[in-house]
A and B are shown apart, each in its own frame.
Chain A
Amino acid sequence: MVLIKLILRNIFSHKLRSTIIFIVISLVFSIMFLFLAFADGTSENMVNSILSITKPKCDIVVTAKGFLESKEANEKLEELNKMTISDYQSIRDKIQQLSEVSSVYVHTQPVNVNFIINEKRYKPVNFFGIEPDYSKHITSNVNITEGRFFENSDNNVILMHSSVGKQLNIKIGDTITTVGTDLFGQSITENFTVIGFYKSKIDSIGLATTALIDMNGYLMISGLVDGEASTMNINLKKNASLKESLTKLRQMAKDNNLNIEFNEFNIFYKNIEEIKLYAAIKIIVMFLSFIVIFIIMFGIMNVVSLNLKDRRKEIGSYYCLGAEKWFLNIMYSSEILIINVLSSIVGLISGLILRFIINSINITTDNPGFQIVLGGEKLYLGFNIYSVLYIFIIFVLITIITSFVTLGSALKVSPSVAVREVEE
């Protein structure tokens, strides 16, 4: 109790010095937090823009048995395409019966084919089929800028990215002819009517080559039959355990003799190149921040050491009053720790406030290069608890190193200093 009292008294009796350390650490913490939030935001943006359509985030991915193994064994694409789930409607019903499951939907493999409009033939574009159950999920990720979204009665209709509509002067009601080969290498031609244009909520110009079509049309150009699908995505309820759900799902498949397998999303899509790129950028950002923090640590040590030098009389007085060195060590270390932790918390809070403000300003860009850097059209600062922990750990390390380096020599004070009239 006495120790805590003394620590707090010391902090307040040297208000100005404590404030300076406090400001520095808060400022550095806050900027470091924003710096890493930028790196986190780019990958979050990527997940919420292009990947939200091409590889939508879910908890569990359902495929035909052996699909993942074959994929990792570099099985030919045509062979992989043959590994499909049959009668997905009944499988979906069975999965939905599990209390942990929030939603299940089919996610289609893209069919990469050319298209013809206004008598011009264009390079291949990825056509994704939108199954009615998937509609609910995709509408939370895309905005319809013109026209309408899919309806159950739709047959051979298409939604194109708004940038393509403008670029190729496509209008609602126009007919697009797809030309190429289906998932099994068979030639196809199919007409689609344009019903509208979409934009991802966090848009990316990279989506220009992604077109959305209704499920009937998709069956025509993919070569799949009704009830056949390559992958299904499962979202679990908030409190459901992933491991337990996987065990239950696998048991359900075994009991019903279903030729399907369940994999965690992160295992199924562990090699997403885009995410790897942003992870590499984050490492560079972390490295740069580490260098800066190291130099600032030297500055903090300097200030703390000078502060302690200036308090020699105070230290001497403690010795006169019978304080042991370990006691002073604990007291001064705790003082440094309290200031550092409090300022880190303030730094984090101010960083969060700044993050909120910057995200609210809604800074966007049309430039494809900047969109690559930002992961989408919008500057978004993300939040990752590991980044916060990284900065916290560094600051705790700074505190420990500062205590070790500065206290050792600063506490070598003779008690006589306390009673000397003027310090040397």
Chain B
Amino acid sequence: MLLYVKLILKSLLRHQKSGKKLFVFISLCMVTIIILLTMMDSFYVKYLDEIINNWTSHIRIVSKNSPKLKPNSAFSVEEENLSLIKIDSKIEQFISNMPEVQAYSPVIETYGNFFTIDSDFQGFSWIRGIVPDSISKVLPGVIITEKNANFNYDPNNKDIPIVRGFPTSSEIIIDNDKFQKKDFRIVGDKFDNFKKQVIKDFPQLFSDTNIEKDTNSQIFISSLNKSLLDPNLYKVIPSTYFDNYDWKIDDTITKIKSLDPNSKKEIAKWNKRLYCSLYPDIIFPVPEEITLNKPLTLQVMPAKNKEILSSPIIIPITFVSYAKGIPMYPQPTYIDINIFREYLDLESNECTDFVIRLKDKQSIQIVKDKIQKYLIEQNYDYKVIDFFQADTLGTPIATSFSIVILIPVILLFCAIVIFILNMIMLSIIKRKREIGTSLAIGMTKGENIIIFLGEVFIIVTLSWLISIVVGSAAIIYLANNGLSGMFFFNSNKLFFVLDFKYIFLAYILILPITLLSALIPCLSILKFKPVEILRETN
């Protein structure tokens, strides 16, 4: 045994150069395989966690008619009546007494539209009525952007505070406090006429002598933008605009008068609206951006007994914060469930879902079975579903992404096999004389093969040791700082989970593959005849 080790080490030292190359190649492959396998697993685990923490929680109790129980529920056409359940104190007591349960909350899930005070549509959202204090407990992944936001309903306030689902890219409005060329409906001669009209109406704002030569309207637009900052712009509006009453002009001036003259952005935005009110056929309406602490209305459909032409329920609201959930999923808006029940005319124990968060993900099945059994015993026909059933999209997305990562891993294994084959084959050709001599002095062919395989074993093991250090360091770095650009996650980052199983798996998979790959060319040694080899090489 010792002799073998000695011979293997000596051989390795003698062929250092090619050994080093093989070592670097296998190390690189191992590090990449470890990182990719960890990435695959981390993605799967973290993505499902993201869904649990932001969207479903661990377990839900739902009505037997709930759309969540339908196959392909993510895209099915849903009835507008809400499928309601009544969670009485007995059920709540039973759930709260379970040692596995960490938190729970009744939830009402529906959808609604937002409108500004001017009745402009401002978007629609998935609405979740929830006990405000429990949101961080049952859905801890939801990021409430305003740290001190409180959406508990206060009867002293007219508007109900709600946390709006984070606006999508198409909902974010920028540049509504300055003019750009795209803000005008007209071009060419018509635009020149408009310019002349504005200069005539507001001569004091367009004193630039070059305005006549302003062929691409840059000077005109920049003068217009300068005028937006003037809190007294409304005072220089020609009196002809007031000959007929226009509520839009009147309302806008009233608003501007109420603004702080130092809040330049607000002044500019409302002055832009003023221009829009003066020239409505030429300037596109200035959209209202989504902002916090502004009075709005929320329209939701009645929860039950809808007539053919039933009117929506109108709720006066104000956004107190934004809630960021999983990208690519709807961003729900959160409202205090108690006031929501009042508006929807529901009883104090009615909800669409009763959401339960567990201390440990592993106990889902046990808790689910226990609750379901209890509900049957109590003659309730409610269903208990876990996060897999509550969300039909997350698992396939996580699985598919894992498969996508697995393909390069398989490719790397293929590359290792072929390169090892080639390298060992070359080594054998190169060392023919050495092998011939060893055979001549009495070493068997099998012993030669063992020495070759021993060398491969040592190289792979050393590569693995190095890849443990490099791979772990990379994974620890990615566990702390995250891999950027992963748009699947709320933070846009995938935080790796260091799992030693993949470090060992890489070794367990690569070692036999490399040994087998090395064995195939080594078998050619069996055909060697010492005399011929020595003659050949001489």
Which residues of A does B touch, CB under 8 Å? 16-17, 20, 23-24, 27-28, 31-32, 35, 38, 66, 69-70, 72-77, 79, 114, 116, 120-123, 125, 163-164, 167-168, 177, 179, 187, 189, 205-206, 208-209, 271, 273, 277, 280, 284-285, 288-289, 291-292, 295-296, 298-299, 302-303, 305-307, 310, 366-370, 372-374, 421-422
Contacts and interface: CB of A to CB of B under 8 A. Distances in A.
A286 to B, nearest CB: 12
Contacts of B308: 116, 121, 177, 179, 189
A274 to B, nearest CB: 11
B285 interface: yes
Nearest to B284: A73
Interface in B394-422: 394-397, 399-401, 404-405, 407-408, 410-412, 414-415, 418-419, 421-422
Interface string B501-538: 00000000000000000000000000000000000011
Most buried by B among A77, A179, A288, A369: A369
B183 interface: yes
Given A280-B487, A368-B393, A66 B423 contact: no
B80 A368 contact: no
Given A69-B185, A372-B396, 10 more contacts: A75-B285, A77-B121, A120-B79, A163-B72, A167-B76, A288-B407, A292-B411, A295-B25, A303-B423, A310-B426
A116 B487 CA distance: 38
B22 A302 contact: yes
A120 B30 CA distance: 59
Given A125-B77, A422-B537, A291 B396 contact: no
9 contacts: A31-B407, A35-B407, A70-B284, A114-B80, A189-B308, A306-B21, A366-B72, A370-B399, A373-B401
Nearest to B487: A280
B396 A367 contact: yes
A368 B422 contact: no
A169 to B, nearest CB: 12
Most buried by A among B21, B396, B408, B414: B408
B200 interface: no
Q: Which of under 10, 10 to 19, 20 to 34, or 35 or more describes the interface residues of B?
A: 35 or more
Contacts, number: 174
Nearest to B415: A296
A302 B309 contact: no
A370 B77 contact: no
B412 to A, nearest CB: 6
B415 A74 contact: no
A196 to B, nearest CB: 17
B76 A302 contact: no
Contacts of A296: 411-412, 415
**What DSSP secondary structure best describes chain A's contact surface?**
helix
Contact of A295 (B28, B77, B111): B28
B77 A121 contact: no
Contacts of B77: 122-123, 125, 164, 167-168, 208-209
Given A123-B78, A187-B309, A291-B32, A299 B285 contact: no
Contact of B433 (A205, A280, A367, A422): A422
A69 B80 CA distance: 36
Nearest to A209: B77
B415 A299 contact: yes
B437 to A, nearest CB: 12
Contacts of A206: 75
B91 interface: no
Contacts of A28: 411, 414-415
B223 interface: no
B411 A31 contact: yes
Contacts of A284: 404, 485
Contacts of A369: 74, 392-397, 399-400
A27 B419 CA distance: 13
Contacts of B182: 69, 72-73
A161 B275 CA distance: 48
B492 to A, nearest CB: 11
Most buried by B among A17, A27, A114, A296: A296
A122 B80 contact: yes
Contacts of B79: 120-123
A20 B421 contact: yes
Interface in B289-307: 306
B265 interface: no
Contacts of A292: 32, 408, 411-412
A190 B158 CA distance: 39
Interface string B264-300: 0000000000000000000011010000000000000
Nearest to A283: B485
B419 A303 contact: yes
B80 A76 contact: no
